[in-house]
Amino acid sequence: MPAPTTNADQSDATTTDAAPLVRTVGDRRTLEFTPGDIQSEMLLSRPHALVLDYARAMMGFALVNPDPRHIVMVGLGGGSLVKFCHRCFPRARITVLEVRADVIALRDVFLVPPDDARLRVLHVDAADYLAHNRNDADVLLSDGFDSAGLPSALSSRAFYADCRRALRPGGIMVANIFTYDPDYAGALQRLNDAFDGQVIWPRAVAGNNRILFARRPGPAPERTRRMLTRPGLARPGAFGWGWSNRLLVRALLVWLASRAV
């Protein structure tokens, strides 16, 4: 029998969204902002595993930079990306930017580790934070949504320009955008403009989620230069085929898990 639904206390006066919903059914625990619309999913038996395809695909940045020093995340959600990165990138600092206090309050429910020397979860507006930080991140994961979808503040021309400046030269931004979002084409164009057209995405790896990789120009290690000159990756736009991209993501996750602490 499904466990009762939990409504997190609405404690963030900056948002008018309804309280997030936590549902537990058997081994599966989900976070939803709108009933039935899953934002994050965790297996209780394997809390560090990435369950949803889009989250797995976002780890593709490790093909270019497998050893980042600082990972910045926009949006905590159920903490899937945080837990995986904290475990599989043991030398990286991780900073999470989350505007909703009621989402942060659920970190223990989703077994997100406590803050320590490597991990900080900040209750801040991500757009404001990134506007005041420069050359600070090797990887920037943008996965912030509310009940209406991708907020305009997290897909504006100014936001993407600030994301570029927040990255160190050679840094990678990974953006998750729904292909059915009414502003998808506009958001893609603004991201493309901010990164001088250096935006690529793998075909058919995450359903309606389009996972976009944008790189700030700058010096890069030899491994990174080799990856970026591979056929398909060297040209902006979509690359690969669905079956080959899914196999690549699966192999990458196995390799990253082998490094887990």
Structure confidence by residue, pLDDT tens digits, 14-33: 445 678 999 999 999 999 98
Tell me which of 23 and 221 has the higher pLDDT: 23
Question: How many angstroms separate the first and last alpha carbons of the chain?
Answer: 35
Question: Is-catalytic flag, 37?
Answer: no
**Which domains occur in the chain, in start order?**
6-43 (no CATH), 54-245 (3.40.50.150)
Q: In this structure, what token pair is assigned to residue 179?
A: 């292909």
* pLDDT more than 90, % of the chain: 72
pTM of the prediction?
0.88
Average pLDDT, the chain: 88
In 3D, which of 57, 54, 52, 32 has the Cα closest to residue 42? 52
Instruction: Give the chain's count of helices (H) and strands (E).
Output: 8, 12
Point out the catalytic residue in the list 12, 102, 143, 181. 143
Task: Compute, in degrees rounded to 10, the torsion defined by CA atoms 3, 55, 209, 242.
Answer: -120
The pLDDT value recorded for residue 231 is 54
What is the C-alpha separation between 88 and 106, in angstroms, rounded?
22
Tell me which of 261 and 202 has the higher pLDDT: 202
Strands, E assignment, the chain: 6-7, 21-25, 28-34, 37-43, 70-74, 93-98, 119-123, 137-142, 167-178, 199-202, 209-215, 237-239
Contact 156, 191 (CB under 8 A): no
Pick from 28-37, 102-111, 148-157 the range whose average pLDDT is largest: 102-111
Q: Distance between alpha carbon 182 and the CA centroid of its chain, in Å?
A: 21
Residues contacting residue 118 through CB under 8 Å, at least 6 positions apart: 86, 92, 93, 94
Count Cβ atoms below 10 Å from residue 253 Cβ, excluding itself.
Answer: 18
